[in-house]
Amino acid sequence: MAEAYPELPANDGRNTSNSAEFPDAPRRAGPLMFGPVAIDPPLLQAPMAGFTNYAYRQIVRQFGGVGLPATEMLCARSFVWQDAQRAEPPERLWGVLDEPRPLAVQIWDNDPQVLAQVGSRLAREFRVSVVDLNFGCPVPRVAQRAQSGSYLLQDPERLGRLVECVVRACHPTPVTAKIRLGCRPEQITCCEVAEAVEQAGAAALTVHGRTARDLFRGQADWERIAAVKAHLRRIPLIGNGDLDSAAKAVAAFRRYPVDGLMIGRAALGRPWLFRQIQAALAGQPIPEEPSAELQRELLLHHFELVVQRFGAEKGTMLMRKYACCYAQGRPGARQFRSQVARVASPADFRNVVARVFPKGRPTACVTQTAEPPNAETERARP
Ligand SMILES: Cc1cc2nc3c(=O)[nH]c(=O)nc-3n(C[C@H](O)[C@H](O)[C@H](O)COP(=O)(O)O)c2cc1C
């Protein structure tokens, strides 16, 4: 996919040149209510383990356009264990106490009491806006060894009981669930699970349009996400999977009966994507991508936030993967990836970044990712 790096900063609201407009963007893209919590715009940042920590969330908030940021998933059992050892709160709760709201914290486990206990603490002590339950994780450590995450999709009744327990423990803080279509293509359970989740008192449901067995292969199946809508009477449905441009987000709202969208991978290196989608949904000009120089500053700012928290050595290691996201689609990205994979110190990191995001040099200008909703866009599968 071609990406643009024109010279104007994103999110300044003045940049209309060269921007596509969506004059008849769908009305449905209004604020959502998760119980008492308003999600405005109806755009959710996907929880992503290893990525969506406080540093990333601060950057996403800085650009705006996100209705609900989310933490990485947190193992409820580990939280309880760490607590018993009188250790610090889990690393993944970094920033949660101080961060602006709304904010969702995601937890996983298969024990109703443990989930309820942790959910209740998050709601009361940490005062999070939303407690999200992970029923989509396909990684063996979670789904097979711990029989949690996507493993639970094969038993909608049990899953419903888990949700019910957490809802009761967290009240009035809303509890939401994030699922995949099912465990495997021949066992699609999302509609039964949706009914169980709603009946259990959850405030919203997010569906990633793949099964656990698919991992990230193939395309997200938005027809199956849409089919879930008929099984929900009260709570909003959030669609998730493969949205990587404002055009695809608008197309998703147009074509499918979803109430909100969740964006994950595409916004890791392009945290301004939420703001672009927000503008497109409101029928406003889409802010252009920041210049390469601004992106470089942003990446270095992100680096500083991570190094401040984790120290020079660990921070540099952690930033290797983020830096690859920022470089994606840029000239020299492949070389950058191989170089950044070897950096061991902040000085190395800054040197490698300086080579791919050169300071003050004009940058290649390529096509803006968001397009008007013409026939081409209408065909685009989100
Ligand atoms: C590196 C990585 C980590 C993820 N971690 C989580 C997680 O902690 N909790 C969760 O519910 N989903 C997790 N996911 C799935 C995403 O939330 C999202 O459902 C998926 O990436 C599809 O959305 P996208 O196509 O917009 O990326 C993760 C995905 C990736 C790529």
- pLDDT for 18: 31
Q: Is residue 57 helix, strand or coil?
A: helix
Asked if residue 365 has pLDDT above 70, the reply is: no
Q: Which of 137, 170, 190, 191 is catalytic?
A: 137
Cα–ligand 1 centroid distance for 363 (angstroms): 31
Least confident of 133-142, 261-270, 301-310, 330-339: 330-339
Exposure string of 118-134, with b = 16+ CB inside 10 Å and e = fewer, is: bbbbbbeebebbbbbbb
CA of 152 to the centre of ligand 1 (A): 17
Please say if the pLDDT value at position 140 is more than 80. yes
* H helix runs in the chain, sequence order: 54-63, 76-84, 112-124, 140, 156-170, 190-199, 222-228, 246-255, 273-281, 292-310, 312-327, 333-340, 346-356, 375-379
Question: So what's the pLDDT on residue 26?
Answer: 55
Give distance in angstroms: CA of 247 to centre of ligand 1.
21
Q: What is the pLDDT of residue 360?
A: 63
pLDDT at 7: 22
**Ligand 1 atom closest to Cα of 134?**
11
End-to-end Cα separation, the chain, in angstroms: 14
Tokens of 157: 């009744």
Q: What are phi and psi of 133, to 5 degrees?
A: -105, 130
Residues lining ligand 1, CB < 6 A?
Answer: 46-51, 72-73, 106, 134, 136-137, 178, 208, 240-243, 263-266
pLDDT at 362 over 60: no
Ligand 1 center to 263 CA (angstroms): 9
Which has the closest alpha carbon to 266: 220, 229, 332?
Answer: 220
Asked if the peptide bond before residue 90 counts as cis, ω within 30 degrees of 0, the response is no
User: By the 8 A CB rule, do 246 and 369 touch?
Assistant: yes
All domains of the chain in start order, with CATH: 32-281 (3.20.20.70), 292-356 (1.10.1200.80)
Segment 29-33 shows an average pLDDT of 86
Residue 14 pLDDT: 27
Residue 178 CA, closest ligand 1 atom number:
11
**Nearest residue CA, atom 21 of ligand 1?**
264
Averaged pLDDT, 359-373: 38
Whether 310 has a pLDDT exceeding 60, the answer reads yes
Mean pLDDT of the 133-141 span? 98
Which amino acid, 112? P
pLDDT at 295 (0 to 100): 93
Task: Give the pLDDT confidence score for residue 88 in this predicted structure.
Answer: 79
Kindly give the pairing relationship between strand 182-184 and strand 37-39.
unpaired
350 CB-near residues (< 8 Å, 6+ apart) = 300, 303
For the question of residue 170 being annotated catalytic, the response is no
Mean pLDDT of the chain: 88
**Predicted confidence band of residue 378 (pLDDT cuts 50, 70, 90):** very low
With cut-offs at 50, 70 and 90, classify the pLDDT of residue 3.
Answer: very low
Sign of the dihedral through C-alpha 59, 278, 126, 203: negative
- Return the pLDDT at 28: 59
How far, in Å, from the CA of 251 to the mean position of ligand 1?
A: 21
Task: Find the range with the poorest average confidence among 221-230, 304-313, 330-339, 341-350.
Answer: 330-339
What contacts 349, CB < 8 A, 6 or more positions away?
303, 316, 319, 323, 340, 343
Q: Which of 178, 265, 328 to mutate to test the pocket of ligand 1 (most atoms within 8 A of CB)?
A: 265
Q: Which residue has the higher pLDDT, 29 or 301?
A: 301
Task: Quote the pLDDT of residue 355.
Answer: 85
| C-alpha closest to that of 163 among 117, 207, 198 | 198
For a pocket test of ligand 1, which of 1, 43, 45, 48 has the largest count of ligand atoms closer than 8 A to its C-beta?
48
Which candidate, 128, 123, 130, places its Cα nearest to that of 39? 130
Q: pTM for this structure?
A: 0.89
Residues of the chain with pLDDT > 70: what percent? 87
Q: Give per-residue pLDDT as tens, 238-292.
A: 999 999 999 999 999 999 999 999 999 999 999 999 999 999 999 999 999 999 8
Report which DSSP code applies to 47.
P
Report the C-alpha gap between 51 and 249 in whole angstroms. 22
- pLDDT of amino acid 104: 98
pLDDT above 50: residue 236 = yes
List pLDDT tens digits, range 69-117: 999 999 999 999 988 887 778 999 999 999 999 999 999 999 999 999 9
